[in-house]
Amino acid sequence: MAAFDALLKPLTIKGLTLRNRVMSTSHAPSYGSDGKPKERYQLYHAEKAKGGIGLTMFGGSSSVAVDSPATPWNQISVADDSVIPYFKEFADRVHGYGGALMIQLTHMGRRTKWDLENWLPTVAPSPKREPAHKSVPKAMESEDFVRITKAFAAAARRCKAGGLDGFEVSCAHGHLIDQFWSPSVNERTDAYGGSLENRMRFGIEVFEAIRAEVGQDYVVGMRMSGDELLENGLTNEDCIAIAKAYSERGLIDFVNVIGGQARDHLAHAISLPNMAFPVAPFLHLASGIKREVGVPVFHAQRVTDIATAARAVEEGHTDMVAMTRAHIADPYLVSKLMEGRVDDIRQCVGAGYCIDRIYEGKDALCIQNAATGRESRMPHVHTPSPKKRKVVVVGGGPGGLEAARVAVERGHEVVLFEAKAQLGGQINVAAKAGWREAISGVARWLGQQVEKKGVDIRLNTKATAALIEAEMPEIVVIATGGLPNDGDFKGKDLVTTTWDILEGRVDPAETVLLFDRMGQHNGASTAEFLARRGAMVELATQDQMIGEDIGGTNRPVHLRELYKLGVMLTPNHDLVEVYPEGNKRIVVLRNDYTLEEEERVVDQIVVELGTLPVDQLYFDLKARSLNKGELDLDAFTEGRIQPKLPNGAGGFALFRIGDAVAGRNVHAAIYDAARLMKDI
């Protein structure tokens, strides 16, 4: 355990002692309500405190002023005093578990929209269009400087009054203060533009106003980039100079360093590195700043495992290591470390499912942990069931594994049938595709847990009704997943599926047309897989763009790879028909808007049309089960035990979950499983 000692060393900043070096940075899970952190938001962070985290920061981009609206991600508004009681309640909750709580304050400047609750124009140093939000800001006038500086100070006062342990001001990701810093945005010719000294002026005024308001003893930090990685942006040297200037003036008590910025899609994806990136890709930027400043340095960005986290602290690259997404996957990370249960930590795989959802206006959810963000209804730690039952789960994909895991944690006797030689289900297929390999971590953890907790795993065993009934189960969970949908177009016998390609049953041909009807990772990653093996690939879809349903931190990586490999991208086309011509295949595509048909001559047609349920076994058992296979949806959604369960007089209840019901995704299967079993 000595290897992780560095992580468990307390850190004292001013009067605040953090119990260890592990933290979660401020982010925007979209759990806010009316601009306030209410119960859902609080429970989400309290769970991490319960799990031993040293510092949890909430409220990414919490607004201090009316022209920086909080609406976009259901975030927090600190622009008036009504938020203070919520802060108090929140702080009490987290302090109750021994954790520290901070918030991030910001004015987004031009990095937001004008057509939201207040319909105010965005502001910035100069009227330069922001690419991500496409807003053209107003150049700040003297009264704006006064107003916004005051707003920051007032928000700081609210944090202190609300009992928060401190806060940071976001000067990263292209918010107002770093818009001033960056020559790529600031083209002013007055005292706030030109030299770095002038460009730093506005931020210094803001921090001076904050200090005047909260005093020297209150912990105030700054989040900033260590290098904007942008032509005409802030260089590493600029960033070090800024960090030094602010810390040497006593304005800040910590500096929270990121790499890059977020003003376009790819930059945004790079600043929130997904599984395509190595771990801790920007640790060196934090390290470089730590060498130059006298205040503690915090750092987040794909630190997913505690070995890397411990190294980051032990080697002195950072003082606090942020494992933000790692805590979304497992809020009990630190307590598991302290309990010597490192192997039980559910490690973040970097799927980016959590963050991608919020850019679609949805709430943040973890691809593999169904309890995160649902703490009021879904337990992270399962308690023993009052009644021990025999449970048979059919299917070792994520849904079946989660059902078995929850069941065995609840104290049931569990048998798991898997037809294949390996657990994991469709995850094993997805993991074959290049940089998507890390998705296998989802199944690996589940498999390890069910094995460790004593589930009777029967691999290479295709379950039948007789085999299941021989187990005398009380609960049968059908999690048999799905198989590729073979389509409904003419000539469908002439095509192959993405599964055939990824699993190696069919070799890539020379010229390939991949038709994707799902807009998910499947099509894009298979196209990349084919192209990397030398195929000339055209990726066609009916959607308005390629990978339309892939989230904002993942799609740019797909597009980058597909463009690099020369894959031809053809949106807005439907597949009409396929027919043979000699050794070749002809694909007929139709433009959805002009309705004109085009033909392609290729060697191979690969389709991604989603899956259809594998449900024969379910229907074999349906009539014989006590509940006739019916899932009581009210009980299911309201968190109550299913009503028709056997009561010792024989018979079994039958449930179907995941893609065996209808093809969806990993989270859906896991949530189905956990939601069903947590009450049984």
Q: Which residues bind other proteins (CB under 8 A)?
A: 1, 8-10, 17-20, 49-52, 96-99, 334-335, 338-340
We find the least distance from the C-beta atom of residue 29 to other proteins, in angstroms, to be 21
Q: How far is CA 322 from CA 53, 271, 362, 379, in A?
A: 10, 14, 24, 24
Question: Please, where are the H alpha helices in 12-72?
Answer: 39-50
Shortest Cβ 96–other proteins spacing (Å)? 6
Give the residue with the Cβ less far from other proteins, 23 or 222: 23
**Shortest gap between Cβ of 18 and other proteins (angstroms)?**
7
Closer Cβ to other proteins, 111 or 380, answer by number: 380
Please, what is the minimum distance in Å from the beta carbon of residue 51 to other proteins?
6
Q: What are 36's strand-pairing partners?
A: 33
Nearer to other proteins, 71 or 335 (CB): 335
Whether 511 contacts 518, CB under 8 Å? no
Backbone Cα Rg of the chain: 27
Element (H, E) at 313: helix 306-314
Single-letter code of the amino acid located at 518: M
In this structure, the number of other CB atoms found within 10 A of the CB of residue 85 comes to 12
CB 90 to other proteins: min, Å? 16
- Which residue, among 546, 566, 542, has the nearest Cα to 556 in the 3D structure? 546
Give CA–CA dist 369/315, Å, rounded. 31
CB of 107 to other proteins, least distance (A): 34
Q: How far is the CB of 515 from other proteins (least distance, A)?
A: 51
For residues 400 and 393, give the distance between their C-alpha atoms in angstroms, rounded to a whole number.
6
Residue 340 Cβ, how far from other proteins at the closest point, in Å? 6
Q: What is the greatest pairwise CA distance in the chain?
A: 85
DSSP label at residue 82: G
Q: Which is nearer to other proteins, 42 or 480 (CB)?
A: 42
- Closer residue to other proteins in complex, CB, 95/128: 95
Q: Which is nearer to other proteins, 18 or 609 (CB)?
A: 18
Q: Which is nearer to other proteins, 440 or 448 (CB)?
A: 448
Shortest distance, CB of residue 12 to other proteins, whole angstroms? 9
* 198 vs 335, beta carbon nearer other proteins: 335
Which residues face 584 on adjacent strands?
A: 581
The torsion of the CA quartet 670, 675, 676, 677, rounded to 10 degrees, works out to 80
Comparing CB distances to other proteins, the nearer of 99 and 552 is: 99
Q: Give long-range contacts, CB 8 A cutoff, 24+ apart: 491-494.
A: 491/577, 491/578, 491/579, 491/580, 492/578, 494/578, 494/579, 494/580, 494/585, 494/605
Distance separating alpha carbons of residues 611 and 547, to the nearest angstrom: 17
